[in-house]
Structures are given as C-alpha cells and as structure tokens.
Structure 1
C-alpha cells in the first residue's frame, strides 16, 4: 500500500507529531526534466484541496539551472508524490519493530584509495580558488530482506532526529532520519535552517557543556556555518520581498543522541508572483549539501561522484491546503528498491580537511545501519529506614542523567510515586529501586536491605572498561558487564568486583565506589577514569573527607585501609583479595602492572 509518514521526534516537548498519508487518489512522477515547471505548478494547484506528499531527487537541481546544459531523462524519479484527501495526525508512537529484516553485504561503493584521490581533486579546486567548500558524498550499498517498516521503527528508536519520514511507493521505499530542515512555508512566509558544524557529545552534562561551548566558539565551524548561511540568504533573496531576509538565530548548538550540530535560522517574506515552482527553482538543492559557491561546487561534484545521489540530499516533505509546505533534507536516509539498499554519506571538504579523517568519518556513519539498539532505563537505588536517605541527591543525579539522554523527567510525579510506595513499608531497612524510562514512566520496587557483616572482600575483574563509554557515568540498566562480573564475584564469596579502565587505572566496583586511605588521607578515583558519581561519594567530596586521585589496584594493596560505598550500605571498610605483579615501567604511575584476578 502506497503511503507517506512524516514525524517530528523532539524529545519531551516540541511538536512530536506524526502526519500519515495513505491510499492516494493518484501518484505523480517526474522523469523528464523539461516538464519540471508544469509538474510543480500542478502539485501546487492540487494542494489547494489535497495533501501532496513525496520526495525530490538531488539531480533535479542540475535540470533547474541552465548553466548545466540539458539534463537527460532519469530512470530514477526526479520527483515522486502521492495525492491524498486527508492526513491522519497524531502523537508519535514507538511500536516494537519485531526486527523482521536483515542487512547483508554492507560496503562502500568506492575504495579508500579512490576516495582519497577524489578528496585531493576537490582540494586542488579549493587551492585554485574555484570553490571554498564541497560536500563530497559516496554510498553504502547492501542487500536487504524483510519488513521495511520494522527497519524504519528500529532506525527511529536509534536516531531520534527531529525530522523522520517513511515513504512507501511500492518499488521505492525511503527511510529517513534527518536532523535538518530544508524549508518551511506558511502562507507567504518562508524559513530555512542550514546545518553546518559538528562536535561529539561528552560523556556527562559537564563534558557536554564543554563540547557545546567548543562548537559554539570554534572559528572553523562558525566560518563554515556562516558560509552556508550566507549562501542560503542569497538563495532566499532571489524569491523574497526586498529587505525581508532576516537571520534570526546564528550559531545555535543543538543536541542529538551522539552529536552536537550547529544551525542558523533565516526567514523571509515571499514576493508576489513567486509560486512553489519558483521556490524550488531558486533554492533547491539546499546549499548545506552542495558547497560554496553553490553552482560551481555542484558542477565539480557531478564530475567526481561516481553515482547519482537520488533522494539523498534532495528533499522529502508535503504540501497542505492553506499554503503550507514542509520539506526536510534527507541525510541519514536509506533508499530501498526491492532487495537492494543504499545510504549516502558525506562530509564537507575544505582547504585544511584531512582526507584520512574524512574517510574514517564516512566509515563510522555505517553504524547508523548496523548497530543494534537496546532500550534502557535510568536507575536510582535508595535506602529507606523510615525516610528516604539523601533523596534530594538521588533526584538531582536522576534529573541530570535524564537531561543528558533526553528522558522526560517530572520530579513532582516521581516524589509522589516514592511517597506512595514507602508509605506502606515498615520502619526497617529497605532498598528502593526506581527505573525511569525515556517517556517518563516510572517503575518502583522494594526489597529488604541485607546487611553484610565484617570487612567486605573485593576482587579485581579480568574485564576492563573504556573511559570513553558514556554509560559508565550514568546509572542505567545498560550494565550487562557489571552484572555478569558481580555474579561471578558473589559466587566466590566476594562482595564486589572492581574494574580498571583501558589505562589500567581504578574506576569503581560493580555496585560501589572505591577508596584507599594512605597516611590519614582517603583517596578515590576521579570521575574522568570512567565511573559513577555515587551519592555517598559526592557527599564525602563536598565535605572534604576524601580527595580525588588516579589509582591502580596496587594502590589498594599498599593502602593503610580500603573502603567502599553506595547508597544502601553507606561507607564500609573493605579489602582487596588479589595478587599484583609488576613488569617493565610503562604509562601508568611508576610501572605497568599485571593483576592476577580472582574472577
């Protein structure tokens, strides 16, 4: 069944709406570029009474400019739209996909050597002054079998991009998770939102703020964003009333799942006589996916790129009765044709681009397709003995992690649920476990807090952790390694399993923070080693009772005393039961150690 679905996936606020069109009255396809003007004028006429939804291929841009010469008819549609009587509008849903699909034989359509050679050609054009920047693209090709809707739902969960779309035209299916708006038109008002400038997310809110600040202040990213914004201002100037092109928000840093992106917003009033075709002719494709100057960049890229982009970097969207039109730039977009699939990737090449790094970035983008997605919850474990201990600290940490991951957080609702849960408990020691899901749903459970007598025994795990793993800095249900190693430790009579990171530095236990006392001073590993800010740990640091310091398991062995803490057991004395041998000095402290682990 032919259908089109467009969804705004803004976390905890924003529109968060799904526009679903199905059973079209007709389907209109453009293959002959000479018919483009008639085609888009007809779409606009239909949109007076109907919804018109579909896509425009990037290659149409060459047909719209006379300087490119005559463009041949295309085997792939230059534009494809369905005409619908009504739209089904509702809140965005995230149904379970069932995973009824398979991706095989994923590979790039050019070799690394060919890619590096192409980038060098582009840089020669930059050095010659032909262009300032070019957005060079290539493709991942793969075999696909199964349900495209399941594939889309999984991608949607993995990439909660603001502009998602699933277009099904039978033999052509498009699954798009785009962060970029192309243009939005309401009546005679039009806005564009170019996106240029990227930085990786940090591992917690503090490093997030640092990364966002870096992106905002970085001259290279700002200059690239300004270049593309000026290009789009110029494009809008071709269709706007004099003096109405206004830049409203420059260099805004937006947060996504794994990246920060820099955007700017430009608005204008469309002058009388400019219709939908006039808009497309003058601003398509978006300058954010071509380069600058736009026409010369497109000319160079057409000679260098080995395949047509098709829908990738074109436009997907719909026109509505009342003069509204909303279109997105389809990046992070999959095109399926039968058993064949493809996804375009690319990057902006400038004078100082490093070809090897650009290639690595393109390879990394394949994870969007292949990485599995596992839903997780945020966790808080608290002690109740007539009152919830350190409740404010627990809620503060939960709020912080919710903000980092984009989870809904309603403190009043959570406090109320905790109050109802604990109201029925006796005045004994209880462990309260709270799980918060992405949509703000809260699950609570309680169990008797079991006392562990005496000195708590610790063992060093043979598994290391990676300090760049953001899940180490947040208490979540994404803790399979910790749970498995804790189970092994408990089976052998230990209270907890202690972990070291990729540098051999102590981090934390599976359920505790770790401390070592030396000459009357108590030390604990710094958070940067890859560990959770435990509530007891944070209280002790605030009171000046402990200090942060890089440590190894050898430091625990040499310590005058060892301690552990968590919200349920408090601050307890412990001992490390393991053997430590030393070998050639290297990197860590005065030497690189080998721990003979008990688990």
Structure 2
C-alpha cells in the first residue's frame, strides 16, 4: 500500500506537507461527519494539525435537503491528524502516461442539458446552475510527477497533492474556498471565464470583454451575494461584506472573474460551523442552493467526488485555508477522472458553455516550456535604436506570461552594459529576461548583409502557437525548418493553415507591388516586430493577407527587422506553387 503524503502549494503560504498521521478520520457515511468534525475540533484544541478533503457528496451532512449523487467513488471525508507540517519533498521526475481524455457525455446531450437548465430558469426554479461533467483517461506511472507538470502548466494559486494510499488527488485550483486567519474569514468565489488571446493586444481585449460581460457579471454577482448571505450566519452582525467585485485573474489558459467576500467570525465557531454555513461553495452549485442541487443531481450522471468539494488544512491556532477543487484530477488504480463545468444562466449560449468546458481541460495536455523573453536590438553610435519600442514589447510579453518586470532595473542593466561597449562597431544586443525579472545582455558584431536567400517552409505553422506572437528563447517553431535548410539559405519563410504567408524565421515579411508595400496582419500568426510597428504607424506598410502563390507576383520581397533594417530576399520561383492569383492588384 502506498504511503500517506499531502502537499499544499497555496498562495501567500509557505509550501508545506504532512505525512505519517497519528490518526486518520474518514467515512463513507454522511451521518458520521458531524461527530468526526467534533473530533477534529478536539484534536485542534490539543495542538494538532488537520489536513485532507471533503467531497461534494458530503453536503447532506450539513443540510439534509441537499441532494447529491448516491454512488460516490471515494470517501466523503478524509482528514489526517498530524503533529506538524514539514517541508515539501524534492521533485524526482519519474515516468507517467495518460491515454486520451474523453468526455463522459456527448456534445449533443451536454447542449440538451443546458437547454433544460434554461427552461428551469425560465420557470423560476433556479437562477443559475453550475453544470459539470467528467473526463476520463487511463493513467500509469508516477502521480507526483504528473502533479508537478500540471502545476507548471496551470500556475494555480491553490494547488494541492494528496496521496492517500491507493487514491491520489492532484488539484490545480485557482479558487480559494475560504481562509480563516484567527478571527477573520475570507471567501473568494470565482465565476466568469474567458479564454486567453495569443498576442498581448488580443489578450487585453478578451480580458476587457470578460470584465464588461453582462452575463459573467450577473453570474459572479449572484454567487458573491449568495456567499455574503451564507457568511452572515457565521460572522458577527453587519460584518459580512463584498470587498472587491469583478476582479480579473489571469491563468495560463484562461482569465477568471472573482469577487472577495469577508467577515469577522463569531466567538467559538467550530469546524462543523464553518462548513455548515458555506459548504458546498456557491460558485460550484448555483442559486438557490437547495433547488439547484436537485437539478444538478437529476442532470449529472456521475458523482463529483472531491471535484467541487474542499481541500485544505487547519492549524492549532485557529487558522485554516481551503480551496475549491476545480481543475482537479482524481486517480484510483489506473482510472483518472477530471471534472469540468460552467455556470449556466438565462443569458448563456449552450454551444459556448460546451466550449468553455473543453477549454478548461487544456491544462491536462498542455506542456509548459521553460523560456526567457528575448529582445534583439541594434547598437550603434553609443546607443540602442528604438529602445523604448523594444522595452514596450518586452513589458507587454512580461505581462502576458506573468513575468516580473521592473522598468528601472531593466534600464539600469542596459546603461551598465552599454558603458562597457565604448567604441564598438554596430552590434546586435541580445537581451534575455527570465521569469523572475533577471536580465542578461550580450553584444554580437554585425556582419554586412545586403541580401538573403530564403526557402518556403514545407508545411504550415499553426496559428494557435502563442510563441509566434512573442519574442522568446523558445524558437522550436522556427528551428524545425531552419535546421533543415540547404547550404546557401539563411532563413525560412513560414505560412499558415490557410495558405497565407506569415513571416521569416528571423524577421517580418514585406512585399512590394506597384509601388505599395504589404505585410501580413498579426492574426495570421506572426511576431509584432518593432520595425514593422513603426512602418505601419507612419503608413509605409499596409496590412493584407498574402497567399503563397502571390509571392510570384511581387516586384520585390523584403525581410525587415530592427537590427538589419530592410534586406532584399531571393525566393526562387520553384519554391512557390505556380497557382497564381491576383489579389494584390
């Protein structure tokens, strides 16, 4: 049997773990939960720590009219009693494999259930329902390695790993359920989701769209009010307040809307009191709770288990912190289960709700690559050309990837470095910035280059590769082609799935036709080059989709970047399909 080990990587808390419990409190019977929580209270008073989870199906222990699936796969409650927390164990990567993640419900049935929920809303049976489904895969190997990969993928604020014998729980939750700091309790319901954009500009537009979305605000405000009402039964009179509304949090694959609700705890409130007032979290049920949980039970054909329950720990000095286990994988034997859902209101578009659920599964397969941000700049006559534009782009990408960015520190490092160059000839300055904001600079002498030979890539790039839109050290999308260039060629010209040419591997593309200069739009999948931006701003360039075949009709083809300027490109006709079009006329 596998040992017991629990690890918590919670925001603003030192990562900690618990192992070798002096006792385990666990049950599959909701009627036993009040007595077990009283026992937990006694252990807390005796100076012990408690760590574990409550499953969603534990809800009837706090309100008998809460209806849940009656065939849970795991215990309703599991808490270990520990003498003290310990440092987290070192990561020793080991192999693991997962099969394809498959939804347990068909798209048509999912949409039909959304429409059924909207009928309930129309008939005043509920105001909003958090409807969920499960995805399933086969799993083999080391669950802790899988957890650490998922943690890297999601960068979640409230992650936890629970190895409880044959059961492993990998929670990458961005959502705080509640936090108790002595006498004060804080909840932070999360409701409202938007996918990330690829470029900084698109990402900011989507974030703004989420913030101003009537549907998402309605959904979020409803849950915040519900939690405020529930807190009122647990806190001192008139202390329950909604402090912050409609804040947008950014995660690697999605933006989420949150609000903060808090209050001052009544004296001598017990662990059972906390959960009786709040569990399960309103953000994963809907409102009103009792009626909505009845609807959930009738439509969801599998138990939620730990998904949408609570995972966390309690300290002897009356401090506690629990997440809402969304973005959570549950592994038992070789079966892995992942829950995903969305909040359904009268304003919901059923097909969009389905896509939202799919969007939330991306962390399971997306592999986060370690990289640094990169800027290549021209140095001559004692200064860096277009420095402010380069730093503006660097700052935008730092914001997008949530890297630390300190403008004063960046400028200080650049000035210090330039002072060492003295009378250097024109050079390329290569600036690297790591995720912690550390800057590295080097100067590379520039060789004379009047023209360049290029070859069209043998296959298209995928526009959804976000590294096409940001200048970083992750250049695999370019290197896969440049590494196969024949002798005499210096760069690859890329094109996308729609047959539009995009950019060169080392610069932006410009085509001259009848005295006009054209460059592809960013939406085709390319880097927002500094020189490209300046030439668009002064109307030298015109944005236009350019088909591969149209390259044959160009009067001249140029590669542009801020290090080299304009470079003529020799692209042999045999590199391009002879299927000509005349859209540039």
Q: TM-score, normalised by structure 2?
A: 0.90
CA-to-aligned-CA distance 1:74-115 (integer Å, 9 cap, x gap): 77322111122222368xx9x766351111364333444544
Unmatched tracts of structure 2, length 5 or more:
none
**Corresponding residue for 2:405?**
409
Residue 540 of structure 1 pairs with residue 535 of structure 2: yes
Rounded Cα–Cα distance in structure 1 between residues aligned with 2:224 and 2:324: 15
> 1:448 Cα shift?
3.9
**Corresponding residue for 1:228?**
223
**Corresponding residue for 1:64?**
62
1:547–1:105 CA distance, 2 compared to 1 (3 A): closer
Asked if the contact 2:552–2:580 (Cα under 8 Å) also holds between the matched residues in 1, the reply is no
CA-to-aligned-CA distance 1:412-435 (integer Å, 9 cap, x gap): 555565545983797244444333
Alignment of 1:542-581 (within 5 A): 542-553=537-548, 556-578=551-573
Alignment of 1:173-572 (within 5 A): 173-272=168-267, 274-385=269-380, 387=382, 389-390=384-385, 391-414=387-410, 419-420=416-417, 423=420, 427-444=424-441, 447-452=444-449, 454-489=450-485, 491-553=486-548, 556-572=551-567
1:421–1:336 CA distance, 2 compared to 1 (3 A): farther
3-state secondary structure, aligned to 1:62: helix
CA-to-aligned-CA distance 1:549-593 (integer Å, 9 cap, x gap): 4434455544443322223322223343225667698xx9489xx
Asked if the contact 2:69–2:297 (Cα under 8 Å) also holds between the matched residues in 1, the reply is no
3-state secondary structure, aligned to 2:305: coil
1:570–1:242 CA distance, 2 compared to 1 (3 A): same
1:327–1:293 CA distance, 2 compared to 1 (3 A): same
1:6–1:425 CA distance, 2 compared to 1 (3 A): farther
> 1:301 Cα shift?
1.5
Rounded Cα–Cα distance in structure 2 between residues aligned with 1:584 and 1:558: 8
Rounded Cα–Cα distance in structure 2 between residues aligned with 1:135 and 1:106: 21
Rounded Cα–Cα distance in structure 1 between residues aligned with 2:66 and 2:384: 71
> 1:354 Cα shift?
4.3
Q: Give the number of aligned pairs.
A: 579
Rounded Cα–Cα distance in structure 1 between residues aligned with 2:382 and 2:21: 60
Unmatched tracts of structure 1, length 5 or more:
10-14, 592-599
* Alignment partner of 1:104 out of 99, 102, 108: 99
Asked if the contact 1:536–1:571 (Cα under 8 Å) also holds between the matched residues in 2, the reply is no
Asked if the contact 1:131–1:293 (Cα under 8 Å) also holds between the matched residues in 2, the reply is yes
User: RMSD across aligned C-alpha pairs, in angstroms?
Assistant: 3.0
Asked if the contact 1:382–1:388 (Cα under 8 Å) also holds between the matched residues in 2, the reply is no
Rounded Cα–Cα distance in structure 2 between residues aligned with 1:442 and 1:570: 25
> 1:170 Cα shift?
1.6
Q: TM-score, normalised by structure 1?
A: 0.88
**Corresponding residue for 1:80?**
78
Rounded Cα–Cα distance in structure 1 between residues aligned with 2:440 and 2:213: 42
**Corresponding residue for 1:18?**
15
**Corresponding residue for 2:28?**
31
* Alignment partner of 1:146 out of 124, 132, 141: 141
Rounded Cα–Cα distance in structure 1 between residues aligned with 2:584 and 2:557: 21
1:117–1:471 CA distance, 2 compared to 1 (3 A): same
Asked if the contact 1:99–1:154 (Cα under 8 Å) also holds between the matched residues in 2, the reply is no
> 1:309 Cα shift?
1.2
Asked if the contact 1:3–1:24 (Cα under 8 Å) also holds between the matched residues in 2, the reply is no
Asked if the contact 1:97–1:153 (Cα under 8 Å) also holds between the matched residues in 2, the reply is no
CA-to-aligned-CA distance 1:157-177 (integer Å, 9 cap, x gap): 001011110112222221100
Asked if the contact 1:516–1:555 (Cα under 8 Å) also holds between the matched residues in 2, the reply is no
1:74–1:523 CA distance, 2 compared to 1 (3 A): closer
**Corresponding residue for 2:6?**
4
> 1:372 Cα shift?
3.1
> 1:232 Cα shift?
1.2
